[in-house]
Amino acid sequence: MIEIRQLTKSLHGGGHRVDILTGIDLTIPDGQFVAVTGPSGSGKTTLLSLIAGLDAPSGGSIVVDGEDITKLNEDELALLRGRRFGFVFQNFHLIPTLTAIENVILAAELTGTPGAHKKSEDLLGVVGLDDRLHHYPSQLSGGEQQRLCLARAFVNEPDIVLADEPTGNLDSKNSGRVLDLFAELHRVKQATIILVTHEPHIAERTQRILTMADGRIVGDTLSPAGPS
């Protein structure tokens, strides 16, 4: 479970303060598939970065399964991310000199996941890349690279997967396929997934939709079209 209380984030410069988040209260149960929506500048990506421990809040707390991650140092946060989190970004962040399977194996080996090669191969099969194992990222289409990122994110069987505009660089066909894979991996792995998107039809594929504006959550609804 993720419990966020009175979370704030402000930036200071030139004698001015800019409030990015202004007191977020939020609870996300284990295994929920959540979309975070809202216009550019509403605080979506900042919220995701704070949950991941990639940035520090100005105030408030983020508690993951009883542990306040805002009190952890950088080494402890890095260990937590490797052990508990998976990440899918709009920009793929793949290592260009490694093949598809090597990109996934590396993610597994960095955290000491047993059976890294077999798990990587199996997941690449799940995402439809079993015939692309030894291709380099530059030899893959955008949709294939994003599916590779999904395999990398799930190889360590994370409790929480954070996705920032994962379909932002894809056409509608590949976007649909990636969302299908998110839904399937969510069903099979039962991970908590938090997906940032500005596209309503993507948000409706999740179980719960959080709407942000001006650094606040202004809407919190269950999605009737989302997975059960």
CA–CA gap between residue 143 and residue 117 (Å, rounded): 23
Report yes or no: 101 and 94 within 8 Å, Cβ to Cβ: no
CA–CA gap between residue 20 and residue 42 (Å, rounded): 8
| pLDDT band for position 7 (cuts 50, 70, 90) | very high
Residue pLDDT, tens place only, 162-201 = 999 888 878 888 888 888 888 888 888 899 999 999 888 8
pTM: 0.88
Residue pLDDT, tens place only, 32-51 = 999 999 999 999 999 999 99
Q: Coil, helix or strand for 78?
A: helix
Q: Which of 58, 53, 64 is nearest to 9 (CA)?
A: 58
CA–CA gap between residue 53 and residue 224 (Å, rounded): 31
CA–CA gap between residue 193 and residue 88 (Å, rounded): 10
Report yes or no: 208 and 226 within 8 Å, Cβ to Cβ: yes
What is the residue whose two structure tokens read 């990122």? 149
Would you tell me which CATH number, out of the four given (3.40.980.10, 1.20.1250.20, 3.40.50.300, 3.40.50.970), belongs to the domain 29-60+72-222?
3.40.50.300
Say which residues have a Cβ less than 8 Å from residue 59's Cβ, sequence separation at least 6: 6, 7, 8
Give the per-residue pLDDT at 227: 55
What token pair was written down for 90?
A: 């709009």
Report yes or no: 142 and 187 within 8 Å, Cβ to Cβ: no
Residue pLDDT, tens place only, 94-139 = 999 999 999 999 988 888 888 899 999 998 998 899 999 999 999 9
Report yes or no: 153 and 178 within 8 Å, Cβ to Cβ: no
Give the per-residue pLDDT at 228: 46
CA–CA gap between residue 163 and residue 98 (Å, rounded): 22
Give the per-residue pLDDT at 72: 94
